[in-house]
Chains A and B, each alone.
Chain A
Amino acid sequence: MKVESRLFLSIGVFFFPVAGVYAFFSHAEPVGSAAIFLVGLLCMMIGGYFRLLSGRIDERPEDDELGEIDQGAGDQGVFSPWSWWPLVIAAAAALVFAGLAVGWWLSAIGGGLAVIGLTGWVFEFSRGQHTH
Chain B
Amino acid sequence: MAAPHTAPHVSVNRPNPVSVGTIVWLASELMFFAGLFAMYFTLRSTVPAEWAAQTGKLNVTYAAINTLVLVLSSVTCQMGVWAAERFQPVRTGSILAVRTWGMNEWMTLTYVMGAIFIGGQVFEYASLAHDGLTISTSPYGSVFFLTTGFHGLHVIGGLIAFLFLLGRSFTAKRFGHHEATTAIVVSYYWHFVDVVWIALFIVIYLLK
Residues of A whose CB lies within 8 Å of any CB of B are 1, 28, 30-31, 33-35, 38-39, 41-43, 45-46, 49, 53, 57-58, 60-61, 64, 66-68, 70-78, 118-119, 122-123, 125-127, 131-132
Least CB distance from A41 to B in Å reads 6
Bound together, the chains give a CA A119 to CA B45 distance in angstroms of: 45
Interfacial chain B residues near A73, Cβ < 8 Å: 8-9, 12
- Which chain A residue shows the least CB distance to B26? A45
Interfacial chain B residues near A131, Cβ < 8 Å: 171, 173
Complex contact A49–B41 (CB within 8 A):
no
Q: List 21 interface pairs A-B (beta carbons < 8 Å), by A numbering.
A: A1-B15, A30-B42, A35-B38, A38-B34, A45-B23, A57-B13, A60-B12, A60-B13, A67-B2, A68-B5, A68-B6, A70-B8, A71-B6, A73-B8, A74-B8, A74-B9, A74-B12, A78-B177, A78-B178, A125-B178, A126-B167
Interface size on B, residues (CB 8 A): 42
Bound together, the chains give a CA A75 to CA B14 distance in angstroms of: 9
- Which chain B residue shows the least CB distance to A126? B171
Contact with A along B10-33 (1 / 0, CB 8 A): 111111111010011011101101
Bound together, the chains give a CA A64 to CA B34 distance in angstroms of: 38
Least CB distance from A96 to B in Å reads 14
- Which chain A residue shows the least CB distance to B2? A66
Complex contact B172–A38 (CB within 8 A):
no
Known: A34-B34, A35-B38, A118-B164. 14 other contacts (CB 8 A): A30-B44, A31-B41, A38-B31, A38-B34, A41-B30, A45-B27, A45-B30, A64-B5, A68-B6, A73-B8, A73-B9, A74-B12, A132-B173, A132-B174
Interfacial chain B residues near A77, Cβ < 8 Å: 14, 16-18
Residue of B11, B14, B28 ringed by the most chain A CB atoms within 10 A? B14
Interfacial chain B residues near A76, Cβ < 8 Å: 12, 14, 17
Interfacial chain B residues near A67, Cβ < 8 Å: 2, 5
Contacts A53-B15, A72-B12, A77-B17; A34 near B5 (Cβ below 8 A): no
Query: Does B120 reach chain A (CB closer than 8 Å)?
Result: no
